[in-house]
Chain A
């Protein structure tokens, strides 16, 4: 990469930082407990809208992993998500009525909170339907992972999205608050992912899974990207470009080994396909606040004529992280 391109990426990063800085005006505080954040606490950032039923399990899951403080941006929820979160002792929450789309799909808001509170912390940026699984996550909490990464001078940890789905129509069984979403949505695609190197940002662009297989089989180029780098030892000069798929500076995207070995990685189990999915897809299509004019949701809605069943005979049933490791979806790397 030449100096010119490097300089342009630098300008881009600064532009994003400036947008994030500006977007602070859009946020109004609901509950601010950031003073209780300790020096080496792991923080979680998320944007949400009407995710009420998913929150109890979400908080519970990440608390058990060792996240010490949650920072949420509520984008105009109408189901009381914000007041539920504001009552939690380890949550800070801001509310905004502004456009999700105009805020780079919420990343400007998160960007500002990260500038303000994330500096020097390991920060996890996920959606409310994404659940991080990493090597040894059943016996070692997140701080064990981040301390090990620190020791090796590693600043970012990748976790590919793994779409989980139920067998049969997605809305066959209603999802109840506090329930483990993967009791129903326990199936996944084990080996139809394709990766390509993005020369500009140095990250891998991964596609595939059930969404590509069912919704995008006639337009695979437009299938959603599954690569994510959700866990980063944050510096206020970093920024996410386009959701959490890639970062600037580019060095943070080099989470894969190029000379034959394996680095450590995890997976984000994606509990998107639960009983509320058809209703959500319909609403998001109307709002047109999502990526590429909500092309994803439109693809789902086109299919919605018949019941959406993502399951196929070769779907794999989820057991634990070791299974994902053996299948080659994630790796222990040198951690043992």
Chain B
């Protein structure tokens, strides 16, 4: 007496596990027919036969050498199914599993579920137009092209021959009565549907056609079930997921809770060494029956996260196994950051003020030539970044991305000037996370206070102006992705707080109130004279802009600045 559910099991490795599984199915009253790959050594098969000799209801089918993606897999399945149906007349449903498919729920529950849905075929079956998951982009072409070369071992020939057929327009005709469908290889079909497939009058014609279809194990039963089934549920009872490279996800011991809560009937594929999984799920169930319907949502999420990680990775991370090419970074940095160019030359306590006003982490000149000026003058920063300028200049871009990555979630703000290392200018300008605010020409202010001989000062002014001009050319190019604001010193001095306000708002958008104090501006009385001296020496300080006629007053004389909100 055999149960209403028959099992066809395909195995090619880990026969020990397959033996265990076959026993498990048989113990629950399900007749099993096992197909073992022809290429498995004879000794191993004999050992398996011996191990299962005492177990009634287990048979072995004719062996085929199964190569992935070829007809042999379907032929093996057909032979085993035929044998199962012939030997066990009570079987009403046949479930196709592999030697690595682990039943997650008691077999009795699956049997009961199928009793409830007698006459229903469970097979994922999707029209070729609607599948989004095929590897290599071949959908309908699986049915209309020829594939004489192996995809696994002769990839180049395979691809070239496909291209050739597309170019010339060779097509195979799809036989009458076949509507191409694709779907998971693992199905559970009714006796009626299977017998219709096996005894179809045109079976040999259809088989001849499918022999040359690519990956027929994902299309033969899926297409023919559509032809014969009276009630078809397009989903697989086997939980099986594939990654973007087309290999199945594997379950390990640490997935045990996830699998337990998934309420799926069968999971594929389970690593043969996952002792705990096998021990747990093949043990007699400790829980009573009456369970929920399959709910693989959590597993789906886990796997889609893994796919996301594999294909897009973490934004702003550069490391040993993620080193994106230029402009393929999916995010050059991980968190927004702000760069203030030329502000410290104009204000004497700018950093402290900015820190108080916005609450962000405000560094000094991170790219200064002598040392890295971390916030608070620290020697080290997040991730043990060192303040050594030599270490930083060894790879300035890595220094910047490390800084942002290490403190991710925490907005970094730093000062910049034409005196600093300019290596990251392009990188920052093309990074959407960067907010760059520039006062051009403010480098003149510290020069003004210099006592050194004027020729040297003039040369330095020319050098800084040259560097800043090059930087401005970058910031004004069409490739800029950063948020850039540029004022000349003259423009900025007209209404400093009006210029600062929107920047502050971007850095700390939740800070409702306006700043109650203002940064202290350096005295600029002699700036006009200094600039005239430069001009007299033959240098044109173009980036400073037009200073107001009267020497600019730092602020209107009242304590509170003029604010526009």
Contact = CB atoms under 8 A, between A and B. Distances in A.
Q: Do A and B bind each other?
A: yes
Interface of A: 136, 139-141, 143-144, 147-148, 151-152, 158-160, 189-197, 204, 206-207, 210, 212-213, 217-221, 227, 255-265, 312-316, 327-336
A261 B311 contact: yes
Interface string B391-421: 1001100110010011000000000000000
Contacts of A151: 247, 250
B402 A261 contact: no
A189 B405 CA distance: 14
Contact of B323 (A258, A315, A336): A258
Given A143-B273, A196-B395, A260-B312, A191 B383 contact: yes
Contacts of B312: 260-261
Counting from the closest, the 7 A-B pairs by CB-CB distance are: A191-B383, A334-B310, A265-B321, A336-B306, A194-B398, A220-B394, A194-B395
A265 B320 contact: yes
A264 B320 CA distance: 9
B388 interface: yes
A315 B379 CA distance: 13
A316 B399 CA distance: 18
A132 B537 CA distance: 65
Interface string B241-285: 001110101101110000000000000000101000000000000
B252 A140 contact: yes
A136 B405 contact: no
B203 interface: no
A159 B379 CA distance: 29
Contacts of A314: 380-385
Contact of A195 (B245, B249, B319, B386): B319
B325 A210 contact: no
B330 interface: yes
B382 A195 contact: no
A140 B310 contact: no
Contact of A262 (B310, B379, B388, B405): B310
B119 interface: no
7 contacts: A195-B319, A195-B320, A255-B321, A256-B320, A256-B322, A264-B321, A334-B307
A191 B406 contact: yes
B322 A257 contact: yes
A147 B385 CA distance: 38
A327 B384 CA distance: 13
A197 B395 CA distance: 12
A335 B384 CA distance: 29
B391 A213 contact: yes
B240 to A, nearest CB: 14
Nearest to B389: A217
B135 interface: no
Contact of B390 (A218, A227, A335): A218
Contacts of B325: 258-259
Interface of B: 243-245, 247, 249-250, 252-254, 271, 273, 302-303, 305-307, 309-314, 317-325, 328-330, 379-386, 388, 390-391, 394-395, 398-399, 402, 405-406
A260 B252 contact: no
A191 B394 CA distance: 15
Contact of A193 (B244, B319, B321): B319
B310 A220 contact: no
Nearest to B324: A260
Given A219-B390, A257-B324, A261-B322, 15 more contacts: A144-B273, A191-B382, A204-B320, A206-B320, A213-B388, A213-B391, A257-B310, A262-B321, A316-B383, A331-B321, A334-B245, A334-B309, A334-B310, A335-B306, A336-B306
Contacts of B311: 260-261
Given A148-B250, A261-B313, A262-B321, A332 B306 contact: yes
Contacts, number: 175
A261 B322 CA distance: 6
A159 B386 CA distance: 24
Nearest to B243: A334
A333 B306 CA distance: 7
Contacts of B386: 192, 213, 217
Nearest to A219: B390
A197 B390 contact: no
Nearest to A154: B245
Given A139-B254, A262-B309, A312-B384, A191 B321 contact: no
A211 to B, nearest CB: 12
B283 to A, nearest CB: 20
A220 B391 contact: yes
A8 to B, nearest CB: 25
Nearest to B386: A213
Contacts of A158: 320-321
Contact of A331 (B245, B322, B328, B382): B322
B273 A141 contact: yes
Nearest to A210: B384
A258 B322 CA distance: 7
A263 B321 contact: yes
Q: In this complex, which of A196, A197, A336 has the most chain B Cβ atoms within 10 angstroms of its Cβ?
A: A336
A332 B309 contact: yes
A259 B325 CA distance: 6
Nearest to B245: A152
B405 A315 contact: no
Contact of B313 (A192, A260, A313): A260
A189 B249 CA distance: 33
A217 B309 CA distance: 34
A181 B386 CA distance: 26
B280 to A, nearest CB: 14
Contacts of B253: 139-140
A92 to B, nearest CB: 25
B322 A263 contact: yes
A149 B384 CA distance: 33
Contacts of B328: 258-260
B321 A152 contact: no
A192 B383 contact: yes
A193 B386 CA distance: 11
B383 A147 contact: no
Nearest to A220: B394
Nearest to A213: B386
Contacts of A152: 245, 247
Given A190-B384, A213-B386, A262 B322 contact: yes
A333 B247 CA distance: 14
A255 B247 contact: no
A313 B380 contact: yes
A191 B385 CA distance: 7
A328 B384 contact: no
Contacts of A258: 323-325, 328
Contacts of B394: 194, 207, 220-221
Contact of B254 (A140, A160, A265): A140
Contacts of B305: 336
A191 B388 CA distance: 15
Contacts of A204: 320, 323
A169 B312 CA distance: 42
B317 A328 contact: yes
Contacts of A144: 250, 252, 271, 273
Contact of A212 (B318, B319, B324, B391): B391
B321 A256 contact: yes
A100 B491 CA distance: 68
A136 B317 contact: no
Contacts of A336: 249, 302-303, 305-306
B320 to A, nearest CB: 5
B321 A334 contact: no
A14 B15 CA distance: 41
A257 B321 contact: yes
Contact of B379 (A191, A197, A312): A312
Contacts of B388: 213, 217-218
